[in-house]
Structure 1
């Protein structure tokens, strides 16, 4: 009869214990970061923390933890994990990253900043009341690019109709403009307190966010007609070089 095989407690095998102070390196889309395991696992229920579990973690050829995502704004994520202070710039971009990594406290902190609140609750809510706003921006950019051949500038005429009364006068105004109807991009009307100037600021902001250089000015017309040109028409000037 053989005796049971007893092992000394000091000889028992166990998985290595990872210390919170352990330094780890991350390769996020080619951007390399160094931090501690405790910082990465600051919020244990986050997707970021889960990425460092044994079953899901991926390593690059240099032994760094690899995440296949653009790492441009990850430094803001890392800084928040270290200090719990939300960023003050690139809020839209960092918010997207915080959502991806499911860092709920950072998502909430960004959404409560005045800049993000104003964009989401103020500007975007206003633009939701402007018919075909996004589609009109695409038309403006497409026409401007077509007008750019052998030219330093592209001039695009937009018609801004703030009220239903403006809309009723729209056809006569377009006819008096002396410009082909299909070349004029019209915005409005909308049911919101925001003004024509607010709408034009949004157009300029969103076009410049696409990388274009543009300025807006009232479009003047030499020949007189019933409606003042600045009541409806503005010129968007794209500068290419």
Structure 2
């Protein structure tokens, strides 16, 4: 007896489920220190672990302004450059130090690394600041100079601060007697050095001027001449006058 397979009726085909609409990242309006920006949550969360991504995570407490915009209490001028990088990887072409500072604050680590390789940041962070770390008491001396200048500013247009800069131990030995004479005459001197690094005295003095100007002061320096500076012993070539102008 032969077995004939029974025919089966075809099963009805199931309808495919409707396609889900593409996920759209919500649009946000931001108030960054008074500057207004429009972006998406996806852009702000582009780099997980960054401070900016954490600010707009689902568990974060949002701070809003009177108009309902999300508020970030930070200077907003350079925030656009941060957004441009997160959106498309675009790098800033100007205001590099300012954008670098904001990238550090928001912990946008890939952008920070790229900017550190740019000449403006490399020169400041790797060259100049590393040199100044080798100058003993540099920051403390800057503070002392400002204090001395402000103390002499009463009813005066300018204040002068006397600075002694010595690069080597031999230089320090040459001006030691002059410093003793000035101390006996109760003339205050801010002494820099010696240091173990390649930059010369002029490089140090330029750095002092730059860092004091960065605090908002108007300052210039000049070499003390024999006519204007005559301690009882020589070595005047190691002494400089920094002049603060108030008005």
Give the TM interval when normalised to the shorter protein.
0.7 to 0.9
Cα displacement (A) at 1:140: 0.4
In the TM superposition, 1:72-83 aligns within 5 A as 72-83=77-88
Q: Partner of 2:28: helix, strand, or coil?
A: strand
- Cα 1:54/1:169, change in 2 over 3 Å: same
**CA distance, structure 2, for counterparts of residue 115 and residue 179 of structure 1:** 44
Greater shift after overlay, 83-92 or 120-129?
83-92
Residues in 2 aligned to 1:35 and 1:179: alpha-carbon distance in whole angstroms:
66
Query: Do the aligned partners of 2:182 and 2:188 also contact (CA within 8 Å) in 1?
Result: no
Name structure 2 gaps, 5 residues minimum: 1-16
What SS class does the counterpart of residue 242 from structure 2 fall into?
Answer: strand
Equivalent of 1:29 in 29, 33, 38: 33
Match of 1:198 in 2: 203
1:40 to 19, 40, 44: 44
Contact 1:163-1:188 within 8 A present in 2 as well: yes
1:202-223 CA distance string (max 9 Å, x none): 0010000000111110011334
Whether the 8 Å CA contact 1:133–1:187 is kept in 2: the answer is: yes
Out of 84, 92, 114, the position equivalent to 1:87 is: 92
TM-score by length of 1: 0.82
**Structure (1 or 2) with the larger CA radius of gyration:** 2
List aligned pairs for 1:163-174, cutoff 5 A.
163-174=168-179
Cα displacement (A) at 1:17: 8.1
CA contact (8 A) 1:28 1:69 kept: yes
Output the CA distance in 1 between the equivalents of 2:56 and 2:23.
11
- Cα displacement string for residues 78-108 of structure 1 (whole angstroms, at most 9, x for unaligned residues): 2322342333444344323222322121111
1:27, distance to aligned residue in structure 2 (A): 1.8
* Alignment equivalent of 1:126, drawn from 113, 127, 131: 131
Distance change (3 Å), C-alpha of 1:150 and 1:25: same
Structure 1 unmatched ranges of 5 or more: 1-8, 11-15
In the alignment, does 2:163 pair up with 1:158?
yes
Residue deviations 1:111-132 (CA, integer Å, cap 9, x gap) = 1111111111111111011010
- Determine if the alignment matches structure 1 residue 213 to structure 2 residue 222: no
Q: Distance in 2 between matches of 1:133 and 1:47?
A: 32
Residue in structure 2 matched with residue 5 of structure 1 by the alignment: none
Q: 1:62: how far off?
A: 2.1
Taking a change above 3 Å as real, the CA distance of residues 179 and 198 of structure 1, as seen in their structure-2 partners, is farther
Do 2:166 and 2:194's aligned partners in 1 also have CA atoms closer than 8 Å? yes
State the alpha-carbon separation in 2 of the partners of residues 187 and 239 from structure 1: 22
TM-score, normalising length: structure 2: 0.80
**Cα deviation, residue 182, structure 1:** 5.3
Question: 8 Å contact 2:164–2:189 — kept in the other structure?
Answer: yes
Structure 2 distance, partners of 1:131, 1:113, is 28
2:3 counterpart residue number: none
Runs of 4+ in 1 over 6 A off after TM superposition: none
Query: Which secondary structure state, in structure 1, belongs to the residue aligned with residue 161 of structure 2?
Result: strand
SS at match of 2:135: coil
Once residues 51 and 178 of structure 1 are traced to their aligned partners in structure 2, the CA distance between those partners, rounded to angstroms, is: 55
For residues 178 and 140 of structure 1, the distance between their equivalents in structure 2, rounded to whole angstroms, comes to 16
